[in-house]
Amino acid sequence: MGLREVLEYLVTLQLSGRSNVVEALHAYFVDDGRESVAELARSYGLSKHQLRGLVQRILRKVPGPARASRARLYIQYLAPLVLRFVKPIIEPRDGYALCTLCKRTFTLDSTAITTHIHAMHRDVVEEHVDRIIGILKKCCRRQHLEKNLDELHDLQLAHTHIRAALNRVHSAIAYLSRTELRSEVERVNELLEELLRRIDSILSQFLPVELPSR
């Protein structure tokens, strides 16, 4: 399904005390296009290469074509819930990291932390994943999370196509009469408005989820 895998990954990051990474992924996928990847990464304490690697890991977990827009949709809903509901179990101490559940210690930023969480605290990961999926399902009036996400995804794609059509009309502006042009643009605009209304109606079935302030 993809959604569960992405959620597991975000939950593990958050349990590891790497909420900056969850926030960076949210900023990358959802608030894209405002800053360069390097600037965005830096503002979350990461390098450009680290952020690119993390983004690739998310994309590999999402199946099918148009995975970028699907990943965006998942991150948009999952990251705020993970940041709000998952409390880290790995905490930084004076120069090392401590697992508050079993008191094991690690060097800071050790890759062994993720392995430890998966091996020793798998139940905690699963518990959070199930709980967050439960919250998401409750937020869907029709209780068909995946169907809604698929529908929304298709609408987003259609929206992109209409926008492309509109752009083609704009570039053909010199070859069309004013009346032809006006009716073409109006037709495309109507389609666009109708799609946006449908997208809004599906989005309104989700509980509004805000990213906690940093």
Residues that bind Zn ion (CB under 5 A): 99, 101-102, 104, 120
Return the SS3 of 145. helix
Measured on CA atoms in the order 164, 149, 83, 196, is the torsion positive or negative? positive
To Zn ion, the closest distance from the beta carbon of 120 in angstroms equals 5
Alpha-carbon span 45 to 47, nearest angstrom: 7
Reference 150, options 77, 70, 63; nearest CA is: 70
Under a CB-based contact definition with an 8 Å cutoff, are residues 97 and 84 in contact? no
For residue 47, the minimal CB distance to Zn ion (Å) is: 28
Q: How far is the CB of 2 from Zn ion (least distance, A)?
A: 28
The H-assigned helical ranges of 31-177 are: 37-43, 48-60, 67-85, 112-120, 122-139, 145-171
Measured from the CB atom, is 40 or 99 closer to Zn ion?
Answer: 99
Of 112, 113, 83, 91, the closest CA to residue 10 belongs to 83
Contact 31, 43 (CB under 8 A): no
- Indicate the residue among 120 and 199 with the shorter CB distance to Zn ion: 120
Q: How far is the CB of 132 from Zn ion (least distance, A)?
A: 21
Least Å distance, CB 58 to Zn ion, is 25
Q: Residue 127 is encoded by which pair of tokens?
A: 């518990």
Nearer to Zn ion, 101 or 140 (CB): 101
Q: Residue 96 gets which letter from DSSP?
A: E
C-alpha 133/C-alpha 113 separation (Å) is 24
Q: Give the pair of three-digit tokens for residue 1.
A: 């399904």
CB nearer Zn ion, residue 113 or residue 149: 113
Closest CB 103 distance from Zn ion, rounded Å: 7
Q: Of all residues in this chain, which one has the CB nearest to Zn ion in the complex?
A: 99
Residue whose CB is less far from Zn ion, 120 or 165: 120
Nearer to Zn ion, 8 or 88 (CB): 88
